[in-house]
Amino acid sequence: MAAWALASGAVLAPPAHAAFSDTVKPFVALGYTHDDNLLRLEDGQQLDGGRADNIRQSQAGVSVEWPLGRQVLVGSAKVSKVSFDHFSQLDYTGQDYQGTWNWVVGNHLNGHLGASYAQTIAPFTDFHSNERNLKTQKRGFADIFWRFHPSWQVHAGYVNDQYDYDLASQRFNTRTEKASDAGVDFLATSGSTVGLVARRLNGHYPYANQSGPVVRESGYTQDELKLKVLWRASGLTEVQFLGGRVKRRHDLGAERDVSGTNARLTVQWTPRERLRWSAAVWREFTAVESSILNYALSKGGSVNATWDLSAKVALTASARRERRDFNGLLASVLPISYDDDSRTLGAGVSYAPTRTSQLSLQYNRETRDPSNRLFSSGYRANSVSFNASLQF
C-alpha cells in the first residue's frame, strides 16, 4: 500500500523539470480494479469458491514520434505486470509494441508501413475458465495512396493478423487473417470523401475444431464490396459510413456459407467546445473466442460522451448494446435460433493535476442474456477501476 501512496504522490506533485524529450516520452502507470464476476459466470455459479477478484496493474513504457523531413516515424513500447488476488494463477506479464512509418514521396504518393505485437490475457466473456489463457496478436500492414487528380485518388492495402492462444483447449481459436483491399475516392473541397472499396479476407485455422469425425470450423474466404463515405457536415459534425455486400465462404461445410449486408455508421458531434459525443451502429461478421464456434453476425450500437468540466476535470459516459446471431455447423442445421444480447454501461471521471499526469476512476456494468445455453451463457458483472499515470 505504501508503494501506491508514493506513486499517487508522485503523480500529484508538479513536474520539477521540462519534458524528457519532444521525440521520446517515457511514462508509467498504476491501476487497481475490483470485479465482482471476473470469469463472467452465470448467477449462482462459482469456481474455487469465488467470483470476485481484485486486479493490480503496473505499466512502464515509452512513446516515440520522430519527424525525418516529410517522413514521420511513430511507435510505442509498453510492458505491464498484472496480478490477481484470488485467481493468482492468472497472473501474467503483458506486452505491447507498435511502430509505423508514415511516408510521403513527391506531392501525390503517401502511405503507411508498420507492425505491432500485443500479449494479454484472453477475455472471459465467451470462455469462462480460471486457467490462464494468454493471447498474442502479431500484425503487419502496408498501404499506398495515389492522388492522380485534385479530386480523385486510388489506394490499396494489405494487413496480416496472427492470433495465438497458449491454452490447449483454446488452440482452436489460433488463426491467421490476411486482408487485401483496393479502392477509389472522390475528394470534395470541403474535406468530405466518397468512394468504393473492394476487400478480400482469408482466414486460416491450423487447429480445426473437431468432434469425432465432424470438423466444426475451418478456414474461410470473405469478399466485400462497400461504399465508403466521410461527410464533414459542419465544423461540429462528422459522419463516417462503410457498408455494402459481403459474402463469406468456408473451406468445409457449404451449409455455413453466408452472404448479406455488413455496414458501420459513426457520427461525431461537438455541440460545445467542452462537450463531445460519438455514436455508432453496425451489422458485421465478428470473431467469437469460444470452444464451439468462431464467428457470429453482430448487430449493435453504442454512444459515448465526454464533458470537460474544467481544464483539469472531465466526465465520461458510455452505453453499448450488441446482439450476436451465431453461425456454424450446428447452428446451421438445428431448427432453433441461437443468439445472445449484451449490454454495457460505463461512467467515469478523470483529473489531471499537472500537464503530464492523470488520475481516473471508472465504473462499468456488463450484462448478457442468451436465447439458450448451447453457444453462450448469461452473466452480470460490475467493476470499478482506479488508474494513475505520469509522463516524463
Of the ranges 1-15, 18-32, 51-65, 286-300, which one carries the lowest mean pLDDT score? 1-15
Contact 232, 188 (CB under 8 A): no
Residue 315 confidence (pLDDT): 98
Residue 10 confidence (pLDDT): 40
**363-380 pLDDT, tens digit each:** 999 999 988 776 678 899
pLDDT at 12 over 60: no
pLDDT at 182 over 90: yes
Residue 339 confidence (pLDDT): 83
pLDDT at 335 over 70: no
- As a whole number of angstroms, the distance between CA 256 and CA 220 comes to 10
Percent of the chain exceeding pLDDT 90 equals 71
pLDDT tier for residue 168 given thresholds of 50, 70 and 90 = confident
The stretch 197-209 carries a mean pLDDT of: 88
- As a whole number of angstroms, the distance between CA 229 and CA 190 comes to 13
pLDDT at 7 over 50: no
Residue 3 confidence (pLDDT): 39
pLDDT tier for residue 114 given thresholds of 50, 70 and 90 = very high
pLDDT at 129 over 90: no
Residue 113 confidence (pLDDT): 98
24-391 has CATH 1.20.1070 classification: no
Mean of pLDDT over the chain:
88
DSSP string, 1-37: -HHHHHHHHHHHSPPSS--S-SSEEEEEEEEEEEETT
Of 92, 94, 34, residue with least CA distance to 385:
34
Residue 357 confidence (pLDDT): 97
- As a whole number of angstroms, the distance between CA 91 and CA 379 comes to 23
pLDDT tier for residue 16 given thresholds of 50, 70 and 90 = very low
pLDDT tier for residue 1 given thresholds of 50, 70 and 90 = very low
> At which residue does the C-alpha cell 478456414 appear?
219
Residue 83 confidence (pLDDT): 98
**42-99 pLDDT, tens digit each:** 988 887 778 999 999 999 999 999 999 999 999 999 999 999 999 999 999 999 999 9
For the chain, which residues make up each domain, given as ranges? 24-391
Residue 30 confidence (pLDDT): 98
pLDDT at 333 over 60: no
Amino acid at 87: F
Contact 347, 331 (CB under 8 A): no
Contact 136, 163 (CB under 8 A): yes
pLDDT tier for residue 235 given thresholds of 50, 70 and 90 = confident
